[in-house]
A and B are shown apart, each in its own frame.
Chain A
Amino acid sequence: MGGADADMGRERGSRDCRLLPAALVLWTAILAAEALFAILIKGEQPLAEWSGDGASCAPGWLMPVCMATGGFAVGVILSKRGMTFIRHGADMRVAMMVVIMVSIVGVTSAWAHLLVRWHDPAAAGARNGKVEVVAVGRITEPLKTSTIREADCQAEMKLESILLQGVSRRSSTQVRAFFTGGDCAAASRGATYRVSGVLREAEYGGTPLWLTVGSDRNVERVRDPPVTDLVRAHMQERFFDAVSRLSDQGRVLVPGLTMGVLGQDHVPSDGRWEAGMVDETYANRLEDSFRNAGIMHLMAVSGGHFVLIASLVRRLCSRFLLPRAVTACCIAASYGLLASLMAPGDSVSRALIMGWFNAAAMAVGRRPQALSALCCTVIGTLLADPAMAQSYGFALSCAAVLGIVILTGPLTSAFTRILPKPIASGLAMTVAAQYATMPIQILMKPQLPVLSCVANLLVAPVVSYATLLGLAALLCAWADDDVAYGLVWLASLGTRVMEVVADGLGNADVAVLPWKDGITGALAMAGIEAAALIAIRMIVRRGGRGSDDGPAAKRFTRDPRNRLGIWFADTVRLVTDSNRTAWRGREVNLHGESD
């Protein structure tokens, strides 16, 4: 009992990692539930499509070797720390209870959501092939240029009802609707439409169903968008008007940096989509070079935007000497407003909910802890919407935050010994985020961005300023066009730096290295990273453990560099100083003296 208290007394409340195992187990449990559902009810083989090509011909000895190595490692750890685990049994039982409860609850929620989605009338109808429907639904995201050739623009719709083979039923799936021609100009976000077209299952992407609306006269507005949506659309359109006066790279990159929508993906709502805002070839090439350089994550809205806004709001509130609870409410409200102005996405949701947790902590008077807020975000989001467990945007966002929170401190202290302080901290954050997101990036595209740390370091100074200028332009574009144009022009100077870095590093020959694709490649990368972490930790611990036992002489000569220096000095003296050689009886110096 005394031992347990003493150990618990060594724990620090500001490093709260209690929910981390629960969050990880919940994510794994939901993925396992989805795989089980796919095998049992859909009749698919989910592992086949995840393993990539070549997994079926993986050598048979690989699995037993991996298991033997893993078992050996576990045995070594247990033999060294086995007493630790046995003594802390009571505490670990409570933690295990929480983990088991989380996994049960996660599997239940995931199975229920999957069943409802499976039995949805639209999904059931589209399962047998293409089907003609008349669907009533609301457009939930801004229109984008279409990714398939047969249509001009696409919009995410949430269905209200569907008329299928003469029977009209209530449905609530997400559908990606593809429009052509004048329908693109007519459709606006937030409005409810009745569309008739062909429904089929999606070939790629997160939305499960695709609805191709034939041509004109198939789209009819049932309900207008609410006033808030009209206001937001007006603000965003004025911002894009200001952006359209910039150079090519500004037109592509400034909206991406500010709102998360690349310039070529935007569909203006007054019929100018036919001309297109940007040359498509140039835009695709720029996007590819950004992806190869590893700085594509800048074009998605992440926590950086929210942190900037939060610091501004907090300074403003402290200038007025407002109490802490009021400051927290202001920060939460500004988070909500900012998230509604950005292009919707899973990383935006993650940043928003995590920001709300931090604001709640500030309101109560606790220190906001990133790791604890992240774990609560992951658990809450996955329980409310288990489909997010398979979302790449959400996974990348969470992994990046986890890496930054855990690894930035040790890496900064390690790099500060070699590099100057500002470069060390920037590089440490980049390396930490890259380290954590590498396995997920390999799942998306099986290549290693070799130069991404350098690229991120080069663009790090301009990102915050360009983002702030873009956000300021977005907020004032509805009032004054010229002020907005000035601000986005300044922001485009920053994006010019990004374009130069991406062109130089992204198109270099050695920019990317190929890697094994599929889940085997991701697991291999995760294994290599874990081994590297353990190796570094062992080296640091061995170097640090013997730091203060033994006399100073022993400590001095334990360092191999010092031993090498002593040997070298002795050798030089031996060779060059023949008067005072240490060889007795071998030589007598010129004057007949001997030592």
Chain B
Amino acid sequence: MAHCGGMGLQRERINAGAAARRLRSLEEPGDVDVRRAGRSSAVDAGRPGRLAPPRPPIPPRAGRRGAGKTSIGELSGVRPGDADVTVEHRMRRDAPRLRFTPGHALAAMLLLVAVTCASLTLLVRQSLNYATVGQSASHGIVRTYEDTQGESGATSDATQPQGTVTQPQGSTEQPSQPEPQTSNGSQEPQGMDAKDTRINLNTATLEELDSINGIGPVTARKILDYRARTGGFSSVDQLLEVSGIGAKTLEKIRAKVTV
């Protein structure tokens, strides 16, 4: 209590209440609010924040309450809060940057539009490729395959051990691979005029399904159950949903069934 306010130049008996009143009399409402608004980031209680340095001290007017001896501290304008916060600290910028200038905003928007246009252009190019490649589809596949036969044969002799694994695979695949493709390609015209030789899955009876090489009586019963449950087959591949028919079986019977 004896060091109250730091005004220790007097030797009089310190009266805590009078000292507090003197200190309070030094504070003016304007100074306090400028300090507060300068310190906090945004605008507090509607007062504009200013970056001006602190106002000079106003000497206490005569006739104010508690008129007695004035201390040097009062005359020099030392305020109780001065020791805590330095001028540089009060004038420092500390708000995060949230405002867009119109020029920056325009630049950002143009950049956004440019990035989006680039992304959409790549997408559109993909879709265009669908249209052009789709027309010459199977022809294109066969050509790619025959073209790469030369390079894959040449490069698979290289150091990689897996090259020797793929090459016998490749050579045995060679005669068999074009055949499904050509048979697929020829299946369409063949199917057109020879459709009645293939069994329609949606109308077949148990005996007709059993007669297919690769389907036995149990599997035929399962196909009929599936057909009754789901209402019918929309594609030959739906046979994969029937338990007991896997990929290999499907390949065997694909040529003999239709939908």
Task: Name A residues whose Cβ lies closer than 8 Å to a Cβ of B.
Answer: 2-3, 6-13, 15-19, 22, 81, 83-84, 87-88, 91, 94-95, 97-98, 101-102, 105, 108-109, 112-113, 116, 121, 128-132, 134, 136, 161, 163, 165-170, 172, 182, 185-186, 188, 194, 197-198, 214, 216-217, 219-224, 269-270, 379-380, 383-385, 547-554
Add 20 more A-B contacts to A220-B173, A549-B27, A551-B20 (CB < 8 A): A12-B93, A17-B97, A83-B46, A97-B105, A101-B109, A109-B120, A116-B126, A121-B130, A130-B240, A167-B137, A214-B248, A220-B170, A221-B152, A221-B170, A223-B151, A269-B162, A270-B161, A379-B115, A549-B80, A553-B1
Q: Is the CB of A165 within 8 A of B80?
A: no
> Inside 8 A of B180's CB, which chain A residues have their CB?
134
Task: Name B residues whose Cβ lies closer than 8 Å to a Cβ of A.
Answer: 1, 3-6, 16, 19-20, 23-24, 27, 32, 41-43, 46, 48-51, 80-81, 84-85, 93-102, 104-105, 108-109, 112-113, 115-116, 118-120, 123, 126-127, 129-130, 133-134, 137-138, 140-141, 144-145, 148, 151-152, 155-156, 160-162, 165-166, 169-170, 172-173, 177, 180-181, 184-185, 187-188, 234-238, 240-241, 247-248, 250-251
Q: Is the CB of B140 within 8 A of A168?
A: yes
> Inside 8 A of A222's CB, which chain B residues have their CB?
144-145, 148, 152
Q: Is the CB of B247 within 8 A of A185?
A: no
- Report the Cα distance A167→B97, complex, angstroms: 57
Q: Is the CB of A223 within 8 A of B95?
A: no
> Inside 8 A of A128's CB, which chain B residues have their CB?
234-235, 238
21 contacts between A and B (CB under 8 A): A3-B48, A6-B49, A9-B51, A11-B96, A16-B96, A102-B112, A109-B120, A131-B240, A132-B240, A132-B247, A136-B144, A161-B137, A166-B185, A182-B165, A185-B162, A221-B170, A224-B156, A269-B162, A383-B119, A549-B27, A549-B81
> Inside 8 A of B3's CB, which chain A residues have their CB?
552
> Inside 8 A of A166's CB, which chain B residues have their CB?
184-185, 187-188
- Report the Cα distance A186→B165, complex, angstroms: 7
> Inside 8 A of B50's CB, which chain A residues have their CB?
6
Indicate the member of A10, A167, A198, A549 with the most B CB atoms within 10 Å.
A10
B119 closest partner in A (C-beta): A384
CB within 8 Å for A186 and B166 given contacts A11-B95, A84-B42, A270-B161: yes
- Report the Cα distance A291→B2, complex, angstroms: 60
Q: Is the CB of B105 within 8 A of A98?
A: yes
The distance from the CB of A5 to the nearest CB of chain B, in whole angstroms, is 10
Q: Is the CB of A129 within 8 A of B129?
A: no
Q: Is the CB of B238 within 8 A of A129?
A: yes
- Report the Cα distance A554→B181, complex, angstroms: 93
Indicate which residue in B41, B99, B113, B172 contacts A91 across the interface (CB closer than 8 Å): B99
CB within 8 Å for A220 and B241 given contacts A94-B105, A109-B116, A549-B81: no
The distance from the CB of B137 to the nearest CB of chain A, in whole angstroms, is 4
- Report the Cα distance A112→B119, complex, angstroms: 10
> Inside 8 A of B16's CB, which chain A residues have their CB?
553
Q: Is the CB of A551 within 8 A of B166?
A: no
In order of increasing CB-CB distance, the 3 nearest A-B pairs are: A548-B81, A168-B137, A15-B96
> Inside 8 A of B145's CB, which chain A residues have their CB?
194, 222
The distance from the CB of A260 to the nearest CB of chain B, in whole angstroms, is 25
- Report the Cα distance A89→B36, complex, angstroms: 23
> Inside 8 A of B41's CB, which chain A residues have their CB?
10
Q: Is the CB of A98 within 8 A of B247?
A: no
- Report the Cα distance A408→B133, complex, angstroms: 54
- Report the Cα distance A121→B130, complex, angstroms: 9
- Report the Cα distance A222→B240, complex, angstroms: 28
A9 closest partner in B (C-beta): B51
- Report the Cα distance A594→B105, complex, angstroms: 80
- Report the Cα distance A548→B112, complex, angstroms: 47
Q: Is the CB of A109 within 8 A of B187?
A: no
Q: Is the CB of A101 within 8 A of B112?
A: yes
- Report the Cα distance A329→B183, complex, angstroms: 56
Q: Is the CB of B187 within 8 A of A220?
A: no
Q: Is the CB of A188 within 8 A of B162?
A: yes
Q: Is the CB of B166 within 8 A of A221?
A: yes
Q: Is the CB of A116 within 8 A of B162?
A: no
Q: Is the CB of B80 within 8 A of A87?
A: no
- Report the Cα distance A205→B234, complex, angstroms: 29
B184 closest partner in A (C-beta): A166
- Report the Cα distance A109→B115, complex, angstroms: 10
CB within 8 Å for A87 and B43 given contacts A166-B187, A549-B81: yes
Indicate which residue in A18, A22, A220 contacts B99 across the interface (CB closer than 8 Å): A18
Q: Is the CB of A131 within 8 A of B170?
A: no
CB within 8 Å for A548 and B80 given contacts A214-B247, A383-B115: yes
> Inside 8 A of A217's CB, which chain B residues have their CB?
169, 172-173
- Report the Cα distance A172→B1, complex, angstroms: 81
The distance from the CB of A117 to the nearest CB of chain B, in whole angstroms, is 10
Q: Is the CB of B51 within 8 A of A551?
A: no
The distance from the CB of B62 to the nearest CB of chain A, in whole angstroms, is 23
The distance from the CB of A169 to the nearest CB of chain B, in whole angstroms, is 5
> Inside 8 A of A9's CB, which chain B residues have their CB?
51, 93
B154 closest partner in A (C-beta): A224
CB within 8 Å for A554 and B20 given contacts A109-B120, A112-B123, A131-B237: yes
> Inside 8 A of B23's CB, which chain A residues have their CB?
551
The distance from the CB of B39 to the nearest CB of chain A, in whole angstroms, is 10
- Report the Cα distance A385→B96, complex, angstroms: 30
CB within 8 Å for A220 and B177 given contacts A15-B96, A269-B162: yes
Q: Is the CB of B94 within 8 A of A161?
A: no
Q: Is the CB of A113 within 8 A of B123?
A: yes
The distance from the CB of A552 to the nearest CB of chain B, in whole angstroms, is 6
A383 closest partner in B (C-beta): B115
CB within 8 Å for A11 and B165 given contacts A101-B112, A130-B240, A165-B235: no
Indicate the member of B94, B115, B180, B181 with the most A CB atoms within 10 Å.
B115
- Report the Cα distance A380→B118, complex, angstroms: 11
CB within 8 Å for A551 and B5 given contacts A165-B235, A220-B169: yes
